[in-house]
A and B are shown apart, each in its own frame.
Chain A
Amino acid sequence: PKGSRSHDEL
């Protein structure tokens, strides 16, 4: 889902 990938960077 979009939400969990919104901040996939460090």
Chain B
Amino acid sequence: MNIFRLAGDMTHLASVLVLLLKIHTIKSCAGISLKTQELFAIVFLTRYLDLFTNFISIYNTIMKLIFLGSSFSIVWYIRRHRVVRRSYDKDQDTFRHFFLMWPCLILAIFINEKFTLKEVMWTFSIYLEAIAILPQLVMLQRTRNIDNLTGQYIFLLGAYRAFYILNWIYRYFTEEHYVHWITWVAGVIQTLLYGDFFYYYFQSWKNNVKLELPA
């Protein structure tokens, strides 16, 4: 465990807590894409299949349980909660996210580190996580209004993967045989997808104006 990895996990944790806090306190999911949240729930489900079989550390297990629990409760809130679901704007959340899953699954079957069910599922979760934010970014472009909690959520989500890239660089230079091309390429693509959002987020922060994405 290095500082970049810890910072990444804490930023990731902060992002899901910001989202849960927003939905739980103001009982609204305006501007939040349910599809992205469903994809994240699938990412954790397929990535943590070895939750009970492959014990890494207490920290690892607890974090996995938190991410699984928070992602499923966010999906539940938006789909089932009698108040929150009324603020879900399904006409704006139109990204065909299940179409995204197939290329990830096919790619995971052909490009993986080991052709076993668990490994293919894990690789699928890596590819899926890289593009899971797309429905949310498309929805933001459409609705144009980004309340600051949603903006913070996306910013933290992007920052977590950026910290992971620093973690991979650090581990590459400090641990021999640490090479995970699949994770690295997917992680860089994922972080780049946040690229333009980061740009507009910093612009709005610097000029102290409300965050606006171009049409």
Stretch at the interface among B60-68, B83-91, B188-196: B60-68
Per-residue CB contact flags for chain B residues 119-162 toward chain A (1 = under 8 Å, else 0) read: 00010000000000000000000000000000000000000000
Pairwise interchain contact B122-A9, C-beta atoms closer than 8 A: no
Q: Which of B50, B54, B60, B113 contacts A10 (CB 8 A)?
A: B60
What class of interface size applies to chain A in its complex with B? under 10
* Bound-complex Cα distance A9 to B12 (A): 13
Q: Which residues of B contact A9 (CB under 8 A)?
A: 5, 164, 167, 183
Main secondary structure of the interface of A (DSSP, over half): loop
Contacts A4-B54, A4-B56 known; A10 to B67 CB distance under 8 Å?
yes
A5, B195: Cα distance in complex, Å: 31
User: Within 8 Å CB of B183, what residues of A?
Assistant: 9
Asked whether any CB of chain A lies closer than 8 Å to the CB of B9, the reply is yes
- Is A7's CB under 8 angstroms from B122's CB? yes
Q: B9: which of A5, A6, A7, A10 is its contact (CB, 8 Å)?
A: A10
Residue of A nearest to B59 (CB): A10
Chain B residues, CB < 8 A from A7: 47, 50, 54, 122
Are A10 and B122 in touch, CB under 8 angstroms? no
Interface residues of B in 30-65 (CB under 8 A from A): 47, 50, 54-56, 60, 63-64
New contact pairs (7) apart from A4-B56, A9-B164, A9-B183, CB-CB < 8 Å: A4-B55, A6-B113, A7-B47, A7-B54, A9-B167, A10-B12, A10-B64
Binding site for A on B (CB under 8 A): 5, 9, 12, 47, 50, 54-56, 60, 63-64, 67, 113, 122, 164, 167, 183
The chain A residues found within 8 Å of chain B, CB to CB, are: 4-10
